[in-house]
Chains A and B, each alone.
Chain A
Amino acid sequence: MLDWLWLIPTFPLAGFLILTLTAGRLPKPVVFGVAVGSVGLSALLTALLGYEFLTSPPESHFYRQILWNWMSVGSFSPNIAFYLDGLSLVWLGVITGVGFLIHLYSVGFMADDPSCSRFFAYLNLFIFAMLMLVLADNLLLLFLGWEGVGLCSYLLIGFWYHEPANGLAARKAFVVTRVGDTAMMIGLLLLFLHLKTLDIQPLMQRAGEQWTAGGTLATLTALLLLGGAVGKSAQLPLQTWLPDAMAGPTPISALIHAATMVTAGVYLIARTHVLFTLAPDIQFLVAVIGAATLLMAGFSSLMQTDIKRIIAYSTISQIGYMMLGLGVGAWTAGVFHVVTHAFFKSLLFLAAGGVIYCFHHEHNIFKMGGLRKRLPVTFWSFMAGGAALSALPFTSGHYSKDEILLTAYTVGASGPLFWAAGVIGALLTAMYTFRLIFIVFFGSDEKTKEVKESFGYSMAAVLVVLSVLALFGGLLKLPLHDVLHSVFSETEQATSVGWVGLVTTLIPFLGIVIVYLFYSARIFSADALMQTGIGRALNRFWFSDWGMDWLYDKAFVQPYKWLAAINKGDIVDALYKGIVVFSRYCHYGVSRTQTGELRWYAAGMVLGIVLIIGVGVLS
């Protein structure tokens, strides 16, 4: 059964090929059938394989399938090979499961789009690339998936290509993540130079044997891989592409920019956790980046007015939690948060998509209000997702986030600081989530009289299923620990200190109360707060993502454009043009002497004779 593993990525690939080669000539129902069916088959197969893997695990807790030898030069001989263990299985489940649901949702969402065949082709290609990423047995094949998902992200952000802004957002996403990818590639070069392989398992083993903890090489390679991770997972300092990526269709935001691709960085770090354990400085840096990102993005999210950007910043913030978890060594908790986040964040995006769909592509939350009664399914989905995102007790987000924060508290001297950052982040999370909910779904519905829930059963069903997962996903905690036990070999879980646990659990409620006072009861006025000098400055600062876009624009984009513009004609060519001008000049000079007048020639001859004689006499 396990040797069917190769079929899991093959189905979406086949779907992609069918949709591409028929180039939009298939009738829409067939397109939907191919796209959803292929991912559905993958999901089914994943379920079967996962069941087999869990009930009768292979002896060494992993299964490797070598398809063919990719290339072989000297000692460099990577295979096209898959590696299935608990960690890849978790991602496999998320990708095919959530991926299938989002495909199903997209059938409703994109039904009217004339180029939905192209959309589903890209979507299938994405699933394929993401599966390659998590199944890869070596880092080069992982890089194939890594770049592949980046490409699909580019294609889908810019899916509505008529709008130049979408194209710009797409290219920005690609180039910014490519900066991280280049760091990662250099990390790969370094790993191969010193450890002579890129196969992940031997690599980790050799690193453990040959490198000392805290050594330069371990630190450097871990740092470079982290560069790749922060690019793909939109963490500081490469997070600027994700909010703009919301230009893509909403199902894309749910699938790529919430549930799967952006967690690739987390996967990479978890996959190479041995290396990060060997580089405690870098692991600490992971935690610092996670904590800083979750705070920054939390503040930014609080200021946004575009419904999708609010959720996008929230995604950056939540991945910050995952990074924090990895950084403090709560590997399983970090991965657990990936899973629960995939449920509730894709739910939130899809629910937001529902609002946008019914609201004629309106994104501004201040033009909405009182949608609770008009869009009941959407509202309740949003509530479920919001509750889980805010980590209210008994929802899935609560279990994963608490686990991260409680572990963070217990590690080292800086532990309480990390915990405090996480708790402030949790406060912010509850605030921006319920700010959105109060503004959009509560209050008067004057502005939204005509809106009604107009989407079909497929979209509604997906929302319901995801709501259930978001609320009860916490039940996966124990099975997940079992699955990941063989991967991380962690010690027992952190036991919470009384008041710490209490604060962690209750802090979201404080956030809800605050925004309730501001946006629902209206005892305080947010507008008045914005009017004050410092309020306005902070608003603008946080709204624009702490000015980082501006900084990068000034520091990199403009200089590069300037360099390109001033040297469009290629200065090197001036050298050769100079030679041309010089020889032409000589040509004119000499041809001037050819006048056709006899006395000129006679004078020239005499001069020449005198010169020659003179030279002869004098020398």
Chain B
Amino acid sequence: MILVWLIIVLFIGGLLAGLAERWSGIAPRWIALAALTIDACLVIVLILDAESLAVSATSSSWITDLKWAWIPRFGITFHLAVDGLSLLLVALTVFLGFMAVSCSWTEIKQGNGFFHFNLLWTLSGVLGVFLALDLFLFFFFWEVMIIPMYFLISIWGHENRAYAAMKFFLFTQVSGLLMLLAIVALVFVHYQSSGVFTFDYFDLLDAALDSTVAFWLMLGFFIPFAVKLPAVPFHTWLPDAHTQASTGGSVILAGVLLKTGAYGLIRFVVPLFPEAAHAFTPVAMTLGVVSILYGAKLAFAQSDMKRLIAYTSVSHMGFILLGVFAWNAIALQGAVMTMLAHGISAAALFMIAGGLQERMHTRDMGRMGGLWDDVPRMAAIALFFSIAALGMPGLGNFIGEVLVLLGAFQVDRAMTVVAALGLIVAPIYSLIVIQKAFHGSPSEHDTIRDFGAREMTAMGFMVVATVWMGLYPQAMMALSEPGIREQGSGIRKEESKQEIHTFGSPIPDSRYLSRGAVIRGQETGIKTSGSSIPIPGPRSPIPESRTDKP
């Protein structure tokens, strides 16, 4: 029930905020804060639940699960559940919700009510995405979060907002359509083999798929998530959307919305189509590596500060793609840590860029320079998050990157070595921000106001969170660990090199990879051409004891 409340509170909060503007200009902000505070309390309750669960050491990784019938005719249910992974992302969403409200405090002057309505509805949709375990419901929330986001960009954005908003909408909508097709096709294939209409995640995990069909369906899921992530070559909506969005919009976009893509890869693409995703590994890893380097190179070229930060997101998301497709627990944990750390560091950088734009009315770094003299607090915090973004050990982003590299290196050395070049190009773009905006000789501009108490409080939380993730990531990793373990349970620790190399092989013989076999595959591994391929097991709440043909 608590899961429904998480979503409903923001939903109603949004409505109230929208209505409250009639009575008072500042009421929507406080309503938004109140709604987020309630959600934060709920998240804390869930985290405590998760910890008590960890103590009791139950076998299931799901903390709580809720299932209501919705459209029984088609097997559509209102199914929400949370495990450590989704809980971390829910916590991140609520946390960044506070940040988005805080940084819009003075920036949004018109349409306060509608702004917070959209903001809360986006967040509510995102929470739904992280919690839904019915594919129909998932798709519903996937769409719900896009539309208010469209308004956030197109109404409160900057000079070229209509173009950017439309681009964002088309990219996500068209790719979303692919996902809808893939979902429906998956349900039908499952119906044909089992005679049961269901959209439920756990039921569909057992769907027996022909390997060709599985490949195309996997692609139908992969592309929308890769667009959202975004991975090269689907990334071009991001710089425009980020550059044009208001600060609060950018915070939500970079911090949370991109993570839904990563979450989808981990939650759906890999477990639903393990062997197809498996076969797709070389392509996905290549896309990841290309994103890392290409994003970094593009970031370095930019003179628009928000655009630069947007491209750094492309680069960092490349690490996530690499980590998810490295198929082992270390890399997956790295991907999760990168999601959290990047969520905070990118959001903070956007808040700084947004703060500068609010004060100087420009994002062009060529017109900044020497700002350290005027706004030392802003500069110091920008420096902090820049070095966090370049992967300084002791801060959260490093943990994510190093785990991804460690995990991916066990799978594909050449690819990982190329990805590691990202460590060289990261400081080139990160430090150029500091140089152009804050160092150098002071340029001609009016004196501007430094961060005040409200901004420093928000930034303080983010700094502490980043340091905490860097020095004691175990706190988060312990939460996500049970889910990750099940996710990567097909990957044996003692697995040898030959086994790993089969990861790059083409789609394995379908005779051996019927769905029934896959379920057992998580424990046994499957024989193909003399070597045993460990198949990552899908996650099932029910202990699997069914046996099929070999």
Measuring CB to CB, which residues of chain A are less than 8 angstroms from any residue of chain B? 20, 23-24, 68-76, 80, 140, 143-144, 146-148, 151, 154, 158, 161-164, 167-168, 170-171, 174-175, 178-179, 181-182, 185-186, 189-190, 192-193, 560, 563-565, 567-568, 570, 572-573, 575-576
- On whether A171 and B431 interact (CB within 8 A), knowing A144-B393, A147-B392, A572-B235, the answer reads yes
Are A175 and B428 in contact, CB atoms less than 8 angstroms apart? yes
In this complex, which of A69, A147, A192 has the most chain B Cβ atoms within 10 angstroms of its Cβ?
Answer: A147
Name the CB-closest residue of A to B166.
A580
Contacts of B329 in A (CB 8 A): 73-74
| Contact assessment for A178 and B392 in the assembled complex, using a CB-CB cutoff below 8 Å | no
Is B367 part of the contact surface with A, judged by Cβ < 8 Å?
no
Minimum CB–CB distance for B154 against chain A, Å: 17
Chain A residue contacts of B298, Cβ below 8 A? 564, 567-568, 570
Q: Is the CB of B409 within 8 A of A570?
A: no
Scan residues 411-457 of chain B and give those whose CB is less than 8 A from a CB of chain A: 416-417, 420-421, 423-424, 427-428, 431-432, 435, 438-442
Can you sample 23 A-B contacts with CB below 8 Å?
A: A24-B376, A69-B474, A70-B471, A70-B472, A71-B473, A73-B403, A73-B481, A74-B328, A74-B330, A143-B393, A148-B393, A151-B387, A161-B372, A164-B439, A167-B439, A168-B435, A178-B423, A182-B423, A182-B424, A185-B423, A192-B406, A573-B236, A575-B233
Indicate if the CB atoms of A186 and B417 lie closer than 8 Å.
yes
Q: Which residue of the partner chain A has the closest CB to B481? A: A73
Query: Shortest beta-carbon distance, A578 to chain B, in Å?
Result: 12
Query: Whose C-beta in chain A lies nearest to the C-beta of B296?
Result: A564
Contact A572 B236 (CB under 8 A): yes
A140 partner residues in chain B, CB cutoff 8 A: 393, 402
| 10 additional contacts (CB under 8 A) given A73-B329, A178-B423, A182-B424 | A68-B472, A71-B403, A71-B473, A71-B477, A74-B330, A182-B423, A186-B420, A560-B300, A564-B298, A572-B236
Query: In whole angstroms, what is the CA distance A576 to B301 when docked?
Result: 20
A573–B428 CA distance with the chains assembled, in angstroms: 23
B236 → chain A, closest Cβ, in Å?
A: 4
A426–chain B nearest beta-carbon distance, Å: 36
Give the A-binding residues of B (Cβ under 8 A): 167, 232-233, 235-236, 239, 297-298, 300-302, 328-330, 333, 370, 372, 376-377, 380, 387, 392-394, 399, 402-403, 405-406, 409-410, 416-417, 420-421, 423-424, 427-428, 431-432, 435, 438-442, 471-474, 477, 481, 493
Nearest Cβ distance between residue B360 and chain A, in whole angstroms?
19
Query: In the complex, which of the residues B235, B387, B393, B421 has the most CB atoms of chain A within 10 Å of its own CB atom?
Result: B393
- A77 — nearest CB in chain B belongs to which residue? B474
The 8 closest A-B pairs by CB, nearest first: A564-B301, A144-B393, A161-B439, A573-B236, A189-B409, A568-B301, A182-B423, A73-B333
> Which residue of chain B has its CB nearest to the CB of A566?
B301
A70 proximity list for chain B (CB < 8 A): 471-474
Quick check: B431 and A154 within 8 Å, CB to CB? yes
Contacts A567-B298, A573-B236 given; indicate if A181 touches B423 (C-beta within 8 A). yes
Looking at the assembled complex, report how far the CB atom of A482 sits from the nearest CB atom of chain B, in whole angstroms. 34
Q: Which of A23, A70, A74 has the most CB of B within 10 A?
A: A74
Tell me, rounded to whole Å, the shortest Cβ–Cβ distance linking B86 to chain A. 19
Q: Which residues of A contact B328 (CB under 8 A)?
A: 74
Contact of B427 among A72, A162, A174 (CB under 8 A): A174
Distance, CA A572 to CA B423, complexed state (A) = 23
C-alpha gap A174/B441 in the complex (Å): 21
Q: Are B474 and A72 in contact (CB under 8 A)?
A: yes
Could you tell me if A162 and B441 are in contact, using CB atoms closer than 8 angstroms?
yes
Cβ–Cβ < 8 Å partners of B387 in chain A: 151
Known A-B contacts A69-B474, A76-B330; A189 and B405 likewise in contact (beta carbons under 8 Å): yes
The answer to whether B406 touches A175 (Cβ under 8 A) is: no
A576/B399 in contact, CB under 8 A: no
Assembly CA distance A181 to B423 (angstroms):
9
Q: Which A residues are in CB contact (< 8 Å) with B406?
A: 76, 189, 192
Name the residue of chain A whose CB is nearest to the CB of B331.
Answer: A73
Neighbouring A residues of B402 by C-beta, 8 Å: 140, 185
B294 to chain A, nearest CB (A): 8
Tell me the complex Cα distance, A182–B416, Å: 12
Q: A193-B410, A563-B297, A564-B297 are in contact. Are A73 and B477 (CB under 8 A)?
A: yes
* Bound complex: CA A607 to CA B387 (Å): 68
Q: Are B233 and A80 in contact (CB under 8 A)?
A: no
Q: Name the CB-closest residue of B to A577.
A: B236
* Least distance between B122 CB and chain A CB atoms (Å): 24
Using CB atoms, name the residue of chain B closest to A176.
B424
Q: How long is the Cα–Cα vector from A447 to B420 in the complex, in angstroms? A: 54
Cα separation A68 to B473 with both chains bound (whole Å): 11
Q: Which residue of A lies closest to B426 (CB)?
A: A178
What are the residues of chain B within 8 A of A167 when measuring CB–CB?
435, 439-440
Chain A residues closer than 8 Å to B235, beta-carbon distance: 572
Q: How far is the CA of A73 from the CA of B399 in the complex (A)?
A: 12
Q: How far is the CA of A576 from the CA of B454 in the complex (A)?
A: 41
Residues of A within 8 A of B330 (CB): 73-74, 76
A80 near B477 with CB under 8 A, answer: no
Contact A182 B421 (CB under 8 A): yes
A129 to chain B, nearest CB (A): 9
When distances are taken between beta carbons in the complex, the residues of chain B under 8 Å from A144 are: 393-394
Shortest distance from the beta carbon of B56 to any chain A beta carbon, whole Å: 20
Residue of B nearest to A174 (CB): B427
Cα–Cα, bound, A573→B431 (Å): 26
Of listed B330, B377, B432, residue having the most chain A CB within 10 A: B330
Min C-beta distance of B428 to chain A, whole Å = 6
Chain A residue at smallest Cβ distance from B432: A171
Q: Which residues of B contact A143 (CB under 8 A)?
A: 393
Q: How far is the CA of A347 from the CA of B147 in the complex (A)?
A: 66
Given contacts A68-B472, A174-B431, A573-B236, contact A151 B423 (CB under 8 A): no
Q: What chain B residues lie within 8 Å of A563 (beta carbons)?
A: 297
A178 and B493 alpha carbons, distance in the complex (Å)? 31
B236 surroundings in chain A (CB, below 8 A): 570, 572-573, 576
Q: Which residues of A contact B333 (CB under 8 A)?
A: 73
Q: Inside 8 A of B377's CB, which chain A residues have their CB?
A: 23
Min C-beta distance of A326 to chain B, whole Å: 25
CB contact between A189 and one of B416, B424, B435, B441 (< 8 Å): that residue: B416
> For the complex, what is the distance from the CA of A573 to the CA of B239, rounded to whole Å?
10
Q: Is the CB of B410 within 8 A of A175?
A: no
Given A68-B472, A70-B473, A178-B427 in contact, is the A193-B409 Cβ separation under 8 Å?
A: yes
CB distance from B123 to the nearest CB of A (A): 28
Considering the chains assembled together, what is the distance between the CA atoms of A186 and B235 in angstroms? 28
Closest chain B residue to A155, Cβ basis:
B383
Q: In this complex, what residue of A is CB-closest to B431?
A: A171
Tell me which residues across on chain A come within 8 A of B431, comparing CB atoms. Answer: 154, 170-171, 174-175
Docked Cα-Cα span, A575 to B232, in Å, equals 12
B370 contact set on A, CB distance < 8 A = 161-162
Partner of A23, one of B376, B399, B427, B481: B376
Question: Which single residue of chain B is at the shortest CB-CB distance from A177?
Answer: B427
Contact across chains for A147 and B301 when beta carbons are under 8 A apart = no
Bound form: Cα–Cα A182–B403 in Å: 15
- With a cutoff of 8 Å between Cβ atoms, the chain A residues found around residue B233 in the complex are 572, 575
Q: Are B439 and A185 in contact (CB under 8 A)?
A: no
Report the minimal beta-carbon distance from B317 to chain A, rounded to whole angstroms: 15
What separation, in Å, do the CA atoms of A564 and B167 have in the docked complex? 24
Q: Which residues of B contact A148 (CB under 8 A)?
A: 392-394
**Least CB separation from A556: chain B residue:** B424
B440 touches A570 (CB 8 A): no
Q: How far is the CA of A71 from the CA of B333 in the complex (A)?
A: 10
Instruction: Please measure, in the bound complex, the distance between the C-alpha atom of A27 and the C-alpha atom of B481, giving whole angstroms.
Output: 48
Given A24-B376, A74-B329 in contact, is the A151-B439 Cβ separation under 8 Å? no
User: CB-CB < 8 A to B432: which residues of A?
Assistant: 171
Chain B residues in 8 Å Cβ range of A186? 416-417, 420
CB-CB nearest in chain A for B488: A74
Measured between beta carbons, the chain B residues less than 8 angstroms from A182 are 420-421, 423-424
Query: CB within 8 A of B424: which of A154, A178, A564, A576?
Result: A178
Task: Report the bound CA distance from A298 to B550 in whole Å.
Answer: 72
Please, which residues of chain B bring their CB within 8 A of the CB of A151? 387, 392
